[in-house]
Structure 1
Amino acid sequence: MASIPKTLGDYAVLPIQLPQPQSIAHLPPATHFLYVRRNAPKIATADDGRSLFISNVPVDSTEEHFRALFASLVGPGRFESISFEEERRRQRKKGGGSDSDDDDSESDFEDFDAVMPRQASSLADLQSRKRKREGGEKDEAEEGRRTAINALRKQSQLPASWPQSLHRSGSTAVALFADPKSVDIVLKAVAKLHKALASSQQYPAWPSLPSSSLGAPWLAGHNRLAYPNREELRESVDAFFALFNFQEAEAAELARRMRNVPDEDGFVTVSRGTTGGAGRGVAARQQEAALARAKQLAKQERQRQDMTNFYRFQLRERKKEEQLELQRKFQEDRKRVDAMREKRGKFRPEA
């Protein structure tokens, strides 16, 4: 058996033996390599000292897998939790785009927000920023509105079509331990493991959990979940359209109330109304679009003219072309004069 390197750069190599499916039980078991090091993110946090950065996690990894793995290495009670790459990405988006710490915040429904009314989301963001500037707290009506929207959003979620979500191949995770000493013990256990492998050649076994079975059971579960109950599906679709219509009507009411409200600089945004009929508004929008298009074309033409004689070689080429054009016109005029002379014949003045 080929020797396994103890380290790879800053990472310690942790080999594990994956469970062998019964369909290929006659083949030798597969070996997977985890790469671990102390967590050192660019933006430091209070838990960096007791966390471990893990790379190349298996695609079906769960918290139960790593809890059992570290328990077999250093004993139970030291591993606390783990956050995978997808979860950390969602938390970063949630922290940057939401002002709520609830688990049911609006940022948890990213795919749902992509199909919501565009005007509703824009006006909601504007109102949220204005509330933050004014330092106002959420009243009971606002809290009730958010609770109702989150309830509708939960109800509008379609049933899951996969029994388990898989991680991206080669993804990462951050394992959190009870204290910094536990991280040292884990790294020492990984180093001792390589010494034991030299004699026993036995890799730590990756825990086999019934809830994370892949292969045929995983595909069979997907085939079963791909056809949900019609009543549940109808309730989800009805809740989605109810929420869509609710936010659309709310956006129209909010736009009406904010039409003549001055902003922080004291300016009032004047919106074009439809007092003179719908046709006048349509014609005005078409005229504005035509003017904007004409301005864009004029700007592009000015840019093209400014760049015509910008470089020295362009000036030389232009002068050469002008000289050739003058020579060509001179030859044409000379031929024209010769032709006129031949046509008139020899001139003989009278005696």
Structure 2
Amino acid sequence: MASIPKSLGDYAVLPVQLPQPQSIAHLPPATHFLYVRRNAPKIATADDDRSLFIANAPVDSTEEHFRALFGSLVGPGRFESISFEEERRRQRKQAAGGDDFDDDSESDFEGFDTAAPRRAASLSDLQSRKRKREGGDKEDREESRRSAMNALRQQSQLPATWPQSLRRSGGTAVALFADAKSVEIVLKAVAKLHKASAQQYPAWPSASLGAPWLAGHNRMNYPNREDLRESVDAFFALFNQQEAEAAELARRLRNVPDEDGFVTVTRGTTGGASRGGAARQQEAALARAKQLAKQERQRQDMTNFYRFQLRERKKEEQLELQRKFQEDRKRVAAMREKRGKFKPEA
């Protein structure tokens, strides 16, 4: 068996033994490697001296798993909490107002409101920007409305279909300990593990994956019909409410200029032969006329674009002049002949 390196760069290698399923109990247990170092973020915080940065966290990691792992290494009472990569990214987005985007992350739709229609979302964003400029005189009513919407949104969520959500493979986490001395003790305990045999590596707590995890998924794929009906009803109630609010907001914003003097362009109602329909027909006819004029200008511009086209045009003009000259000669000859035969009466 190849020797395990004690460190990789700034990271100390922490080997752990994964639980062995009963189906392959005759095989040696698998070893998973965690990589730990002192936490040194780009923006320093007050807890950096008592925290560890952990890389290559297992996909089923939870706070209880790491609490049991570090408890087996250095004893209970030193580990406080842990924040995983997804949680830190969510906190950064909330701190940045929801505009932060991590290029290394996968698509994250946790903050996306799937029940919000596109028109309602755009108009709500416009209304929020105008409310910030106008002041906070309607904050109380808006806060109560937002609370009701959040309650309805939570009720509209479909039942979960997995017993436990998995994390991204090779994810990171930041473990917080009681003090800086606890971090030193953990790093020393990790260094001592490489002097022991593989049988003495700390064991990862009981796995939540495997056959029980899939069996739980199979059971949760068939939720109670009443719970499912309530979620669907709440979803459509939220959808219809947001659509109604968007229509009302569009009606109020149609002819109301903002503080800069601009009027928000919104989609009007369609009512047969209404003003909106007639205006749209006139705009379509005008756009069609502009398109035809543009095509005619392009055709004229391309008429004498090449040299051979100029030669052909000059040749055609010369032939046309020759034809007209011959016609004029014939006309003059006919007039002369007619004049010569004229004999006035005596």
TM-score strictly above 0.5: yes
Contact persistence 2:250–2:266 (CA under 8 A)? no
> Does 2:127 correspond to 1:110?
no
Closer/same/farther in 2, CA of residues 191 and 7 from structure 1, 3 Å limit: same
Q: Do the aligned partners of 2:50 and 2:183 also contact (CA within 8 Å) in 1?
A: yes
167-176 vs 237-246, greater mean Cα deviation: 167-176
Deviates most, 285-294 or 10-19: 285-294
Cα gap change, 1:59 to 1:121, in 2 (>3 Å): same
**Deviation at 1:184?**
2.1
Question: What is the CA-CA distance between 1:127 and the residue it aligns to?
Answer: 2.0
In structure 1, give the amino acid aligned to 2:83.
S
Which position in structure 2 is the counterpart of 1:308? Answer: none
* Change in CA separation of 1:267 and 1:15 when aligned onto 2, cut-off 3 Å: same
Aligned-partner SS, 2:278: helix
User: What is the CA deviation profile of residues 36-78 of structure 1, one whole-angstrom value per residue up to 9, with x for unaligned ones?
Assistant: 1122223333333322111111111110000011111112122
Change (3 A) 1:65 1:109: closer
Query: For residues 234 and 285 of structure 1, do their structure 2 counterparts lie closer, same or farther at Cα, with a shift above 3 Å needed?
Result: farther
TM-superposed CA distance for 1:154, in Å, is: 0.9
Provide the residue aligned with 2:342 in structure 1.
Answer: none
- Corresponding position of 1:225: 220
Unmatched 5+ residue regions in structure 2?
Answer: 100-107, 313-346
TM-aligned CA distance change 1:23 to 1:272, over 3 Å: closer
Amino acid at match of 2:239: F
1:154 partnered with 2:149: no
> Residue 51 of structure 2 corresponds to which residue in structure 1?
51
- Per the alignment, residue 320 of structure 2 pairs with none
Find the partner of 2:234 among 232, 235, 239: 239
Write the distance in 1 (CA, Å) between the matches of 2:282 and 2:50.
Answer: 63
- 2:6 is aligned to 6
Q: 1:110 aligns to what SS in structure 2?
A: coil
SS at match of 1:33: strand
Quote the sequence identity (%): 76
Residue type of the alignment partner of 2:65: H
Residue 192 (structure 1) aligns with: 192
Greater shift after overlay, 16-25 or 251-260? Answer: 251-260
Give the CA deviation at 1:280: 1.8
Q: What TM-score do you get using the length of structure 1 for normalisation?
A: 0.73
Assess if the C-alpha contact under 8 Å between 1:94 and 1:108 holds in 2: no
Mean CA deviation greater in 119-128 or 152-161: 119-128
Deviation at 1:8, TM superposition (A): 0.4
User: C-alpha distance in 1, partners of 2:116/2:126?
Assistant: 16
Residues 155-204 of structure 1 show CA distances to partners (whole Å, capped at 9, x for unaligned) of 1100000111111211111112222332222222212222344xx75211
Specify whether residues 74 and 282 from structure 1 end up closer, same or farther in structure 2 by C-alpha distance, changes over 3 A only: same
Residue 79 of structure 1 aligns with an amino acid whose one-letter code is F
Residues 131-210 of structure 1: pairs in structure 2 closer than 5 A: 131-136=131-136, 139-197=139-197, 202-208=200-206
Supply the distance in 2 between the matched residues of 1:180 and 1:120 (Cα, whole angstroms): 50
The RMSD of aligned alpha carbons is 3.4
1:338 is matched with none
CA 273–85 in structure 1, closer or farther in 2 if over 3 Å, else same? closer
**Aligned counterpart, 1:336:** none
- The 8 Å contact of residues 80 and 177 in structure 1, kept in 2 or not, is answered as yes
Rounded Cα–Cα distance in structure 2 between residues aligned with 1:190 and 1:222:
36
Structure 1 residue runs of 5 or longer lacking an equivalent are: 100-106, 306-320, 330-351
Q: Distance in 2 between matches of 1:193 and 1:288?
A: 80
Structure 1 stretch 149-158 or stretch 83-92: which is displaced more?
83-92
**1:6–1:13 Cα contact (<8 Å) kept:** yes
Relative distance call for 1:258 and 1:19 in structure 2 (3 A) is same
Asked which structure has the greater CA Rg, the reply is 2
Residues 9-51 of structure 1 show CA distances to partners (whole Å, capped at 9, x for unaligned) of: 1111000011111111000000000001122223333333322
Q: Distance in 1 between matches of 2:51 and 2:72?
A: 18
Amino acid at match of 1:17: Q
TM-score (norm 2): 0.74
| Structure 2 equivalent of residue 30 of structure 1 | 30
Q: Aligned in 2, Cα 1:242/1:75: closer, same or farther, shift over 3 Å?
A: same
Count of residue pairs brought into register by the alignment? 293
- 1:283 corresponds to 2:281: yes
SS of 1:238 mapped into structure 2? helix
Shift of 1:82: 1.1
1:263 corresponding residue in structure 2: 258
